């Protein structure tokens, strides 16, 4: 299995996300693109696409993060610089505590350059699973 390093993510990715809300018993879908572009500290992550949630018209959604290489791990920060989580591709699990909710993630790189993240979010305010699949727009370039 290939274990990616930060620079291996650079470029454009197609992405698809399924969001299962355990409390509402509903499922949402996000489809779009993610771009990892070089910045001063590593890579800036931007995803843009369309989010479809039950009972609402589809709408534009986006999110941004900063990805940074630290030894064998990749640190992920919110776009304002606050730390979010760290993942080592050899041990691809992480946790983020956002009082009072817990965000657990498992990354899968077994089919690199296709990869995924699965977030399980639990707490008094939230209970959902979010599975995001990524595939390169130019698989020959990776």
User: For residue 45, which of 22, 69, 62 has the smallest C-alpha distance?
Assistant: 62
* Confidence tier at 139 by pLDDT (50, 70, 90): low
Q: Which CATH number fits domain 6-136: 3.40.50.720, 2.40.128.20, 3.20.20.370, 2.40.110.20?
A: 2.40.128.20
- pLDDT tens profile 76-88: 999 999 999 999 9
pLDDT at 3: 87
Residue percentage of the chain with pLDDT more than 90: 92
- At residue 138, the pLDDT reads 80
Residue 21 has pLDDT above 70, yes or no: yes
Q: CA 112, 109, 62, 25 torsion: positive or negative?
A: positive
Q: Work out the mean pLDDT of the chain and round it to a whole number.
A: 95
pLDDT above 90 for 102: yes
Phi, psi for 115 (deg, rounded to 5): -150, 170
Residue 63 to residue 4: CA distance in whole angstroms: 22
Whole-structure pTM value: 0.93
pLDDT per residue as tens digits for the range 26-69: 999 999 999 999 999 999 999 999 999 999 999 999 999 999 99
Angle at 98 between CA 122 and CA 70, to 5 degrees: 110
Q: Are 88 and 73 in contact (CB under 8 A)?
A: yes
């Amino acid at each position: 299995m290939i274990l990616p390093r930060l620079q291996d993510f650079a470029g454009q990715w197609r992405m698809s996300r399924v969001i299962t809300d355990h409390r509402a018993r509903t499922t949402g879908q996000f489809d779009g693109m993610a771009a990892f572009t070089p910045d001063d500290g590593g890579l800036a992550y931007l995803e843009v696409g369309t989010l479809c949630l039950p009972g609402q018209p589809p709408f534009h959604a986006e999110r941004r993060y900063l990805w940074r290489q630290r030894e064998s791990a990749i640190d992920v920060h919110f776009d304002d610089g606050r730390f979010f989580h760290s993942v080592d591709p050899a041990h691809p699990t992480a946790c983020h505590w956002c009082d009072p909710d817990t965000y657990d993630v498992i990354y899968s790189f077994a089919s690199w350059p296709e990869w995924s993240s699965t977030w399980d979010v639990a707490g008094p305010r939230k209970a959902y699973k979010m599975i995001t699949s990524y595939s390169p727009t130019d698989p020959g370039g990776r």
